[in-house]
Structure 1
């Protein structure tokens, strides 16, 4: 045990760099209090903190202040460890370092007397600590992760500190149409499926969680047990949904939680980052066989095969987007022509004016001689249009990529990676549709055109050329 943690304060300098500050009075105090104890180095932090807490609570004057100061020094070390853990978990991907986090939570100046104007984070933690209910280390971890300024910064980086299972717990099934439909552009069939999964999860996991809370348990939501998953599977199988394995059910729940997490980050003003399949493969080579890394020649082969797969994947993504747009436009035009040929022509023209010439709905209405902008909105039905395109891409790309991956992995690994591949594909498609969504909501000529619009415009240009000739 590092006994000096009770008189060495972790703090930061003016440049945000970590430094240690010795509190001489706390050092003398700790040595005096524990000098007569044998085996102090083997004594647990819990026992030391319990004694210090008693001195802090049950005494007045300098002894109480010094016991408090010793505990505050220990808390500073724990705060640093929490920040290091956050950096290890999220820092590399979300672009922040320990130096970014520490200023939000390491603001203890080492004084004995608390300030009348401001209470530092360490003192806030100690003030709310109850040694009968928690350890000081775990309480510090919890309070640091709940600290509003730190959470605001993490949200801006795209990190939302709440477990998947807690997110699922406090999301109502009635909220899913808005979140999954409007934000993620999922179809009504996909939304209904997610609602059934969430309802089954609530009926087992959330009820048991509420029972735990009634018994006084306040710990973090944990991964569902095998028994809980079996009960959830039973409910879903009764609703005539496809049969679920434990692994697949767990994956579907985590995928839904990920979608809900992205929405929460967005509405709280943060940015969310979706992994593209390119990024996942570049980082992990997950669709390739395991090749021993000791041999540099093998490693070169692995990298070459990954790049080869990515090149083929990008081509498939581009082709599927192109064919999906073509299919949906032809289908929509065909339906409109059965009702009204002029309406079908107006549809393709309005689609071109909106996506390619970047005109507003009111401007398009004037160009086409229509009554008002709401007439154009009803004609285009852009959200429905994008949802149809998304579904078409998903069907085409899933089949093509799984077939493509067979050339780069063994059948055994493909079975294990099936869900992962599906999730990665869905994320990639969501990214394309989300870009189109945002572009449609702020259509401006100076905003870069999304790949969705670029592909669509290329097709519409070809249609116009054929029509004019």
Structure 2
């Protein structure tokens, strides 16, 4: 761990009220720095985070140990604040196109820790306590998000994800951030909503035990949900204890024994986490992500290092097969998603009168290179915001990308099945590897460039293959 990396444990990112343009600032926390430097001398760099987590979650209430726990937590809060900042930048990058918010707006929802107070958890890891200088604790009136990230992190589990990935997941699921995004029409599904609406193709990626758990969840939760929708429509709530108990009894019929409702709830959340990998969020991620401090785009670190090397398929064969189908599928995706959008607009109570302006608006955007602000008066729309909601070129791009990836994935799976290279349905590992490599391919070929064109704002150059295919469609319809 180099000096820059280790300093993450004593520098905290927090909101900068004095500089609204920058939005945030980095502050040195001297007590955290002293605490880390003492620990580095007694353990290796690789063990530092584990040591801090063990100290923070220790169940010791003597004054010295409380201070030790609070300082360890403070170091980890510094570390997590950096992850929250990067998560907001990444989440913002998922929503390409012209929009009326940026990642600094997202920070206000989750970057709420200034590092000025020591915080510890109770024995049950449920309540945050403020620790005063004399070692006295009292319940916190406000729950810091950094501490909530650490509170929910299962540091002692062998199957845990990294703290960085956990921070990203928790930031995406933060209720305040999700409510903020929902105001702009971006839906973030809860675990229960995701499980309730899961499709057969998604279930096919799961192991047999997980499939049975989802089947039982549908038998109970979806049944009750349908009854409730006859009365009222709302968000998917947590399953009740009665529902969970009924699920446990049904699972016994399949030979699956789970001892407690909390254990079942935990397994359901694990299944939802697997499904989330195949949800729209993953399909919206670009090949490159921006560093907003420098303005430089860098390659996603989570991309597979090997491209096209799928099982025993010859590299040249895979390239030829994908290239053969790619442009055909891309054109099909554009046609279908535009048609779906028009149908959706026509069925909308608010936007039905404007549905006929959708194609002319796309032509102004992609053929005449006008901005949404310039398009608004031409189409006699009330504002730029209304034009954005109707046209939303970033959303169209995301939908076309999703369709293209899924179609190419189906094509490759069919070919692999014919050659006897995989089982049908394929194993989750095979499917994930194949999906990642196809995403890599389509991003390199078209979608990274297409996304950058939309983000460019004024004087954009719409020369990508996506823009060309879209113009071909618009000029013939």
Report the structure number with the largest CA radius of gyration. Answer: 1
TM-score (norm 1): 0.44
TM-score (norm 2): 0.44
Between Structure 1 and Structure 2, the one with more helix by share is 1
